[in-house]
């Protein structure tokens, strides 16, 4: 459930005092916090903001003066080392989180002039910036193993959830929302969908078929490794129930496999488990209350609810993103963050809003894993 990479001109929203350093301040860009030198910026300054998970060519980072703040891994080392890519990360500076860095508009323009290139809105193409993506893993539980199937046209990928720090004004006091815990695992989807290429004169082509997959790739049922895990008898019964109740052609259940050695956060589980966070019927997501009714009826676990009600404030969402996981009763580890979405009626014509808020402690942890 990755979000888009955005590196564009923006304004400094606010300057705050650093809680533990007299010569540093906190620059607020949209919903991001960046530690900066005192008096180097003021509210309203026009700047370029480089968020975590930017991959910046080394020669550009040298010109920007940020090379020492980047992480260079073997995955992104190029034959021409000047073009090796360094990853921007969130770090803590004197106990305050710093999400990426800020560069003034004038400095960026001067670099572009020196390189003889024209800036056209975003710096992503202009400076050859890429988005860091978690590596694929194939060493455990059948991740990304076996033959990938041609994608069924009704087996839709899940929404790419945007980071609310880029869009801090998404929710208003009029929004009814549900905030759920974001689980550190691997995205999985299972479904029963109408068969492709059915023919009226071939009865064996009628009906529906089971499909499974990761966020991006469909896999063969029975040979999908960890992606087979959610397709239990209870899951099949629930999907059949929804199809009959709704007269649906397709039902997709989206969830997360977690625990075991899937990621370094194990949630107290020695082997992988599965949890549901969304259900789609004929291309439309069902309401949260309906999802809970269906899953509870068939004893299928759902992601923990942190809050349900009217949107309160940015500070409230940040509070919900932090703390410990609710999936562990004893010695819980940190929470990855939270997902916020509006609880619109399924007949409501307005689009559903959905965003993620990642925990600062999760972003700045040491030796964390991020596998697809």
HSE at residue 126, side-chain half, CA atoms within 13 A, is 20
Is there a single domain that holds both residue 171 and residue 112? no
Give strand pairing partners of 358: 337
Q: How confident is the model at residue 204 (pLDDT cuts 50, 70, 90)?
A: low
- Which of 74, 102, 131 terminates a domain? The answer is 131
Is there a single domain that holds both residue 237 and residue 324? yes
Is there a single domain that holds both residue 113 and residue 229? no
Q: How many CB atoms lie within 10 A of CB 253?
A: 25
Instruction: Give CA–CA dist 241/262, Å, rounded.
Output: 31
Residue 211 lies in a domain: yes
Is there a single domain that holds both residue 153 and residue 126? no
Q: How many CB atoms lie within 10 A of CB 23?
A: 9
Q: How confident is the model at residue 168 (pLDDT cuts 50, 70, 90)?
A: very high
Is there a single domain that holds both residue 123 and residue 179? no
Q: Are the C-beta atoms of 50 and 7 separated by less than 8 Å?
A: yes
Is there a single domain that holds both residue 193 and residue 82? no
Is there a single domain that holds both residue 173 and residue 245? yes
Residue 368 lies in a domain: no
pLDDT tens per residue, range 256-280: 999 988 889 999 999 999 999 999 9
- Which of 98, 131, 164 terminates a domain? The answer is 131
Q: Give how many domains the chain has, as a whole number.
A: 2
Q: Which two tokens stand for residue 126?
A: 């202009």
Is there a single domain that holds both residue 227 and residue 319? yes
Average model confidence (pLDDT) across the chain: 91
Is there a single domain that holds both residue 121 and residue 156? no
Residue 70 has pLDDT above 90, yes or no: yes
Residue 281 has pLDDT above 60, yes or no: yes
Return the minimum-mean-pLDDT range out of 19-28, 43-52, 112-121, 201-210.
201-210
pLDDT tens per residue, range 350-372: 689 999 999 999 999 987 777 65
Is there a single domain that holds both residue 179 and residue 323? yes
Cβ neighbours for 233, distance < 8 A, ≥ 6 positions apart: none
Q: Please tell me the predicted confidence (pLDDT) of residue 195.
A: 87
Residue 371 lies in a domain: no
Is there a single domain that holds both residue 65 and residue 172? no
Is there a single domain that holds both residue 42 and residue 165? no
Residue 134 has pLDDT above 90, yes or no: no
Residue 46 has pLDDT above 60, yes or no: yes
The residue-averaged pLDDT of 139-158 equals: 72
Domain around 265: 148-363
Residue 370 lies in a domain: no
CATH code assigned at 319: 3.30.470.30
């Amino acid at each position: 459930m990755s979000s888009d990479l955005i590196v564009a001109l923006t304004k400094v929203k606010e300057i705050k005092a650093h809680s533990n350093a007299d010569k540093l301040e906190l620059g607020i860009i949209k919903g991001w916090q960046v530690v900066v030198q005192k008096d180097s910026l003021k509210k309203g300054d026009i700047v370029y903001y480089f968020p975590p998970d930017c991959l910046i060519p080394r020669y550009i980072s040298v010109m920007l003066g940020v090379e020492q703040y980047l992480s260079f891994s073997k995955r992104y080392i190029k034959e021409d080392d000047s073009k090796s890519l360094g990853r921007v990360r969130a770090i803590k500076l004197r106990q305050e989180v710093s999400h990426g860095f800020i560069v003034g508009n004038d400095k960026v323009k001067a670099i572009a002039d020196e390189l003889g290139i024209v800036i056209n809105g975003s710096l992503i193409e202009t400076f050859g910036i890429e988005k860091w993506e978690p590596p694929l893993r194939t060493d455990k539980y059948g991740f990304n193993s076996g033959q990938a199937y041609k994608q069924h046209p009704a087996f839709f990928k899940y929404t790419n959830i945007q980071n609310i720090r880029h869009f801090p004004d998404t929710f208003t006091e009029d929004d009814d929302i549900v905030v759920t815990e974001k689980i550190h695992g691997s995205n999985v989807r299972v479904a029963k969908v109408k068969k492709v290429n059915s023919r009226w004169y071939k009865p064996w082509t009628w009906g529906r078929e089971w499909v499974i997959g990761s966020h991006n790739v469909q896999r063969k049922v029975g040979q999908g490794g960890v992606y087979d895990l959610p397709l239990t008898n209870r899951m099949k019964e629930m999907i059949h129930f929804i199809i009959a109740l709704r007269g649906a052609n397709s039902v997709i259940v989206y969830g997360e496999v977690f625990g075991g050695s899937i990621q370094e956060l194990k949630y107290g589980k020695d082997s992988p488990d599965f949890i549901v966070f969304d259900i789609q019927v004929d291309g439309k997501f069902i309401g949260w209350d309906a999802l809970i009714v269906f899953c509870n009826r068939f004893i299928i676990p759902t992601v923990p609810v942190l809050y349900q009600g009217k949107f309160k404030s940015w500070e409230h969402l940040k509070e919900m993103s932090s703390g410990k996981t609710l999936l562990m009763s004893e010695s819980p580890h940190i929470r990855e963050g939270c997902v916020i979405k509006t609880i619109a009626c399924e007949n409501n014509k307005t689009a559903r809003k959905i965003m993620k808020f990642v925990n600062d402690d999760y972003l700045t942890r040491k030796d964390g894993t991020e596998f697809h």
